[in-house]
Chains A and B, each alone.
Chain A
């Protein structure tokens, strides 16, 4: 039987077990994912790269519980994923901040649903406002913030409810190069401190290598795991890490691999 707990690695936080996703469309069925198998270990930072349309986001939505797999299952701590749950936080590319709420109220949103006492809510909100360095903007509305600041609020909001796993769907994809680098560094720093299990989607190979311990390369549609590459570069990593020989070797290797898939899509 699929998903027998005995077959799992001991430390696997998230187990993706033979996931298949088929979308029924006007022009027949589209197989977005087929036979996707891999584990995300506890405290691991894992990045997924692949050409557009390879089903990366679909996979994230399935783990988040926003979509159901056609076949296969996803387990978090040996428990099958059924619908969304506060133990799985998500950061979306489009920020998804509530525009009618201030930065503070956005971060409080999930905490208020947990029935915490107000002083507890205040304490946690303050902590994450500090973490993303947005204290002075606590009472601002999202429209007053730059893209990078909005995404910091979204990250703080996701962290505040203390999920076991953080799922990030190209969170820096809409940002300019400078904010992007800055947010990468901040996220690295936070991860090095908290070691929160992270599943991070990107199409930027540099970003994947600088952040992740392992990079999952996905093939063009139907999406499946083509290769999993270990990034054996020690933390703490900085932007300088991008100049090292090891980094460039990995980049050449992963990029070559992904590029083949881009070509496959173009055909």
Chain B
């Protein structure tokens, strides 16, 4: 009993970054083991092979082009989705008529995977950049409009009452109560939107593109070039982590006043 107590006591003194390091080392060991086992080595190229693949792709500059073009598509689609989702979500939250007319359609469409629209989009805007940005726009818009709208609707009724009592009219209630109260939900929307953007991007690029990380993974797969496939997957993962950290940073800055975090 005492020994265990001492052990947990000791563990609680280990800083977080040390844990991260231990976790990474363990992960790499498992990975190396998988790469060395004949049965799994077909799928799991070793860490060394991936570093070599990165150096090869880096020399050809293709890796940076692919990362750049994918980031552009994600961010452009996301930005348009955000700019359109904000007013629609607030209109839905604030005006009952608008909500009643629009909500059934949003509920219907958001259950359809955006990839399913790709043929329509290609028929509409061709196979170029616009097609990819459009798919990502649709995916991010739907995810964000729903979560932001939930936020607008869930504004604490007592706060609206309190503002009314203090003399606020509808305009003031909207700007000084509903908008600030919705910020945590907007950030949840941003987080979900970025995740949806990344998911959709890869799928969109796999269905026909001449560049991008999705295309890189897909075409390497065709040649059984597993080091490049894994390299692409790892880069997509890192981009996802970076997005997550940016959102966390924004949350700390903008919603530090919250009693408990929404997400």
Contact = CB atoms under 8 A, between A and B. Distances in A.
Contacts of A157: 166
B258 A143 contact: yes
B167 A141 contact: no
Given A113-B167, A113-B172, A96 B259 contact: no
What are the 4 A-B residue pairs with the smallest beta carbon separation, nearest first? A110-B166, A96-B162, A86-B167, A96-B158
B94 to A, nearest CB: 18
B159 interface: yes
A94 B158 contact: yes
A98 B161 contact: no
Nearest to B164: A84
A225 interface: no
Interface string B165-191: 111100010001100110100000000
Interface of A, secondary structure class, is loop
A217 to B, nearest CB: 26
Contacts of A142: 257
- Give the interface centre of A85, A99, A141 by most chain B CB atoms within 10 Å: A99
Contacts of B203: none
A109 B257 CA distance: 17
B122 interface: no
Contacts of B162: 90, 92, 96-98
A94 B172 CA distance: 22
Contact of B259 (A85, A88, A98, A99): A99
Contacts of A85: 167
Contact of A99 (B161, B168, B258): B258
Given A110-B166, A110-B167, A113-B172, A92 B158 contact: yes
B257 A90 contact: no
Given A99-B258, A100-B257, A109 B164 contact: no
A89 interface: yes
Contact of B180 (A86, A98, A143): A98
B184 to A, nearest CB: 9
B177 A66 contact: no
B166 A113 contact: yes
A61 to B, nearest CB: 8
B258 to A, nearest CB: 7
- Give the interface centre of B161, B177, B183, B256 by most chain A CB atoms within 10 Å: B161
A210 to B, nearest CB: 26
A161 interface: yes
A84 B161 CA distance: 9
B220 interface: no
A117 interface: no
Contacts of B156: 96
Nearest to A102: B257
B35 interface: no
B161 A92 contact: yes
A109 B166 contact: yes
15 contacts: A66-B164, A84-B164, A85-B167, A88-B165, A89-B165, A90-B162, A98-B176, A98-B180, A99-B259, A101-B257, A109-B176, A113-B167, A113-B168, A142-B257, A143-B259
Interface string A75-99: 0000000001110111010101111
- Give the interface centre of B162, B181, B258, B259 by most chain A CB atoms within 10 Å: B162
Contacts of B159: 96, 98
B163 interface: yes
B166 A86 contact: yes
Contacts of A92: 158, 161-162
A134 B159 CA distance: 22
Given A100-B180, A161-B167, 6 more contacts: A66-B164, A89-B165, A96-B161, A98-B176, A110-B166, A113-B168
A46 B132 CA distance: 67
B259 A161 contact: no
A114 interface: yes
A64 interface: yes
